[in-house]
Structure 1
Amino acid sequence: MKNSSLYFRSFLVMLTAATIGFIWILLPYYAALFWATALAVLFHPVQRRLQAKFHGRANLAAAVTLLIVLLIVIIPMIVITGALIQEIASVYKRIASGEFNLGVYFTQIANAMPPSVHNVLSFLGLGDLLGVQERLTQGAVAGGRFIATQAVSLGQNTAQLLIGLGVMLYVLFFLLRDGAQLARHSKQLIPLSEEHKQHFIRKFATVIRATVKGNIVVAITQGTLGGVMFWILGIQGALLWGVVMTLLSLLPAVGAALIWAPVAVYFLVTGAIVEGIVLTLFGVLVIGLIDNILRPILVGKDTKLPDWVILVSTLGGLSVFGLNGFVIGPLAAAIFMSAWDLFPSAVRLYQEDPENGSISPETATRKPTSQE
């Protein structure tokens, strides 16, 4: 009995060491593997339908699904990223040369404000508009320099990005082809009850769909519409602002309004009344309502995390994992909340298991005898 226990513990140590070593080896490509998994979950329904249409030919179905992913996800992202890098470089040059001066725009807004607004700002400790203008200008220059540096770094790491993209597509093909079999095998390895396994797997797939298919698609739609409207109104750097609105749209309680609302205010206070009204109406009635219209269509009745949880977990994910944190953060939050949701039932199952020597209420309340 002792030898059996020793062998089992030794095996657990070996298994843990092997797992940690394998994960350490895969860490340089964790982003590629993560997105391959996310895209495999997202496009699994497409793979399943194509495989049925092709009479069970899994390789052909996976190849066609991979081609669809390339056409509607990968290639558009590459094109947009290339155009965005050029846009960032152009904006940074204009900021560095003084052609684009945020302080000038701020001064125009400040001069157009009525005295009552100045009084309110003074009451709030913001009366030193010159100091605020200088800080905004310095922040814009520093932000532009940081973004430009990141864009240059992205261009210099093209080889590494291409390798990561190749790894992602290669793994994605096999996950599409063998995903169902891998899921069944992984399910057997999870040391939980069948009910808990189903709950975690369902929650994982739900959050992937809700985050990628819901949040990201909605954010891209909002950012695209905002960028197009900026271009129509003649606002320079429309592509860059569209991407920024896309990123902000991923955060609840923030959204694209953080960009288009100040621009609309600038139009209104500087006399461009028509542009200001058009942008305000478009932002409220189109960009603002996209979430309520598209999300139910894309996500359906999938469970949605509370907005405050999405906000905090997304910001935390961004700080830890970079851009991948947009998905990893909410996913970690969903798994955390699922685990605590299952905790009462896990305790109940443990107490009801006779092998654990659980004490019944009658035994617990029985008074000890003199012999005891």
Structure 2
Amino acid sequence: MLSAKTKISRRIVPWLALGGLIALASMVVAPFLAPIAWAGVLAYASWPVAERIRRWCNNKDTLAAFLATALLALTLFLPLIWLVWLAQLELGHLFPALQAFLANPPPVPETLRSLPWLGEWLMQQQAHFTANPNGASLVFKNWLAAHTADLSMLAGGLGKSLAKMIFVVVILFFFFRDGTRIVRELRHVLERFIGAHVHDYLHAAGTTTRAVVYGILLTALVQGVVAGLGYWVAGLSSPVMFGVLTMILALIPFGTPLAWGAAGLLLLLQGETGAAIGVWIWGAAIVSQLDNVLRPLFISSISPIPFLLVLFGVLGGLLAFGLVGLFIGPIVLSVVWAVWREWTAHLDEVTAVN
């Protein structure tokens, strides 16, 4: 008979080998974790469309995956190319408008003059620009010259982001093609380690993930549309572009003021003071407040997740994982919440039986 020491070594050695293999695999895959996470979020959000395409293709997995990936890639890249084109047009008009504004700043409205501290500061700035119109332009040019290296790093970062987006599209194809098999094998492996209750855990985790992803996306979409309508009424030259920008920034909690603040500033530079104030009021009173109403409403309609948990997940995920953390953070915390609730429910059942 084998000794106890031999039995223990036979158990430990395979686990050590498996742990080392997982560590090596993690080191290899680490540079691609962000594209994999983005592809997972996008595949999950668009899975119903991919399944419908699969049925149209008579369950030809490769063809269906190619069509679904091409459709999603067009949905991602065409708006991005269009936004870049509109942005370079707007930037071409922005610098002359800024120069004209600094050379001849509009008078401070009477409503703003009466505000304590702010009115006096605005009047001082107007007097300064009127007395020295070239000073601000010189400061701006010196700032650009001093930050040339930073701008080059920004351009390099954009190139890396584009490469990551290409990786996301490639990974999406394989997720669409092999996603059903991957999930089936994952369920089988987890069932061996956790037991039959893993199916309840996965169901709760899937429902919670769907609530978070759709809640975040739908809220951002509504905020972008409502903001775009306000920009159009105010007479902004590119209301659609700023509406899409608002939608993107709405994915980040408290991010929409960057969009409607910039839109109001652009109107102010064009001499439309009243329209600028209207955009700022519309953004602060309506657009930003929609996040506090719609996001909990959308998420709680699918799964009763505490809003504070989603808020911590978004902010913590953004700090930990970057932009993809907007989805990964709340998904992780929400899945932990769902598994915890399922686990306590099973414990209550066991206690009741005993």
TM-score (norm 1): 0.66
Number of the residue aligned with 1:192 = 194
User: Structure 1: how far apart are the matches of 2:15 and 2:151?
Assistant: 45
Alignment match of 2:205 (pick from 196, 203, 206) = 203
1:319-330 map, 5 Å: 319-330=319-330
For the structure 1 residues 213 and 26, does the alpha-carbon distance in structure 2 shift closer, same or farther, using more than 3 Å as the test? same
User: Structure 2: how far apart are the matches of 1:133 and 1:286?
Assistant: 29
* 8 A contact 1:196–1:342 mirrored in 2: no
* 8 A contact 1:215–1:250 mirrored in 2: yes
* 8 A contact 1:224–1:242 mirrored in 2: yes
Number of the residue aligned with 1:306 = 306
Number of the residue aligned with 1:357 = none
For the structure 1 residues 83 and 219, does the alpha-carbon distance in structure 2 shift closer, same or farther, using more than 3 Å as the test? farther
Alignment of 1:20 onto 2:20: no
* 8 A contact 1:32–1:164 mirrored in 2: yes
* 8 A contact 1:33–1:168 mirrored in 2: yes
AA of the residue aligned to 1:200: L
Alignment of 1:34 onto 2:37: yes
* 8 A contact 1:89–1:148 mirrored in 2: no
Number of the residue aligned with 1:11 = 14
Cα shift readout 1:71-126 (whole Å, capped 9, x = no counterpart)? 3233323432x23763685588579x75566xx78x936x63475x52xx6xxxx8
* 8 A contact 1:225–1:287 mirrored in 2: no
User: Structure 2: how far apart are the matches of 1:69 and 1:195?
Assistant: 35
Unaligned runs of 5+ in 2: 127-135
Stretch deviating more after TM superposition (157-166 or 307-316)? 157-166
User: How much identity, in percent, do the aligned residues show?
Assistant: 21
For the structure 1 residues 332 and 278, does the alpha-carbon distance in structure 2 shift closer, same or farther, using more than 3 Å as the test? closer
* 8 A contact 2:224–2:246 mirrored in 1: yes
**How far off is 1:178 after superposition?**
1.3
For the structure 1 residues 339 and 286, does the alpha-carbon distance in structure 2 shift closer, same or farther, using more than 3 Å as the test? closer
**How far off is 1:198 after superposition?**
3.3
TM-score (norm 2): 0.69
Number of the residue aligned with 1:177 = 177
User: Structure 2: how far apart are the matches of 1:237 and 1:100?
Assistant: 19
User: Structure 2: how far apart are the matches of 1:302 and 1:149?
Assistant: 47
For the structure 1 residues 304 and 245, does the alpha-carbon distance in structure 2 shift closer, same or farther, using more than 3 Å as the test? farther
Number of the residue aligned with 1:164 = 164
AA of the residue aligned to 2:29: L
CA RMSD of aligned residues (A): 4.9
* 8 A contact 1:59–1:177 mirrored in 2: yes
AA of the residue aligned to 2:111: A
Number of the residue aligned with 1:71 = 74
Number of the residue aligned with 2:111 = 112
Describe the SS at the equivalent of 1:108. Answer: coil
Cα shift readout 1:21-48 (whole Å, capped 9, x = no counterpart)? 2122122222211111112222222222
Alignment of 1:45 onto 2:48: yes
Stretch deviating more after TM superposition (64-73 or 211-220)? 211-220
Describe the SS at the equivalent of 2:194. Answer: coil
AA of the residue aligned to 1:112: T
User: Structure 2: how far apart are the matches of 1:159 and 1:5?
Assistant: 52
